[in-house]
Amino acid sequence: NQYRHRHNHSSMGVTKEIIKAGDGPKPSTGQKVMCHYTGTLASNGQVFDSSHKRNRPFQFKVGVGQVIQGWDEGVGDMQVGEKALLKITSDYGYGHRGAGGVIPPNADLNFEVELLDIVEE
C-alpha cells in the first residue's frame, strides 16, 4: 500500500502516533487482541465511541476484516502495552456510508487505542 506513510492532505490510510511505547509482542494476522479505545471525529473532536465508557475492553481478530481497515493495519502494527493515536482516513474507516448515525459519510477518524493483550484461544 503505497499511500500508507505519506503525510500530505491527499494521503489515504492510517498513520500511527505512539503515545506510550509497548514492550510486548506484535499480534499476528488472525490472533485475537484485547484493547481499549476512544474514537473521535477528526473534524471536530467529538467522541462517537469508547470502550472505556462500557468498562469492557474490545476484542477482535487482527487482519481478517472484522474491523475497519485502519484498525486491521494500525493495531496490527502495535505492540502489547502500547498506546497510540491512529489517524484513519475515511477510505480506511467507514467511507461514504458512514456508520450508525454517529459517523457522517467520508469522515476521517482518530482512535486512541491501547493494546492490552493478545488473547490465546
Which phi and psi (to 5°) does residue 71 adopt?
-75, -45
Q: Which of 88, 92, 103, 111 is catalytic?
A: 111
Q: Which of 68, 72, 92, 103 is catalytic?
A: 68
Q: Which of 3, 19, 37, 118 is catalytic?
A: 37
Q: Is 92 labeled as catalytic in the residue annotation?
A: no
Q: Is 68 labeled as catalytic in the residue annotation?
A: yes
Q: Is 77 labeled as catalytic in the residue annotation?
A: no
Cα separation, 78 vs 87, in Å, equals 14
Contacts of 54 (CB under 8 A, 6+ apart): none
Q: Which of 3, 48, 60, 118 is catalytic?
A: 48
Element (H, E) at 76: helix 69-76
Which phi and psi (to 5°) does residue 73 adopt?
-75, -45
Which phi and psi (to 5°) does residue 85 adopt?
-100, 120
Q: Which of 88, 92, 94, 103 is catalytic?
A: 94
Q: Is 60 labeled as catalytic in the residue annotation?
A: no
Q: Is 58 labeled as catalytic in the residue annotation?
A: no
Q: Is 49 labeled as catalytic in the residue annotation?
A: yes
Residue numbers annotated as active site? 37, 48-49, 68, 94, 111
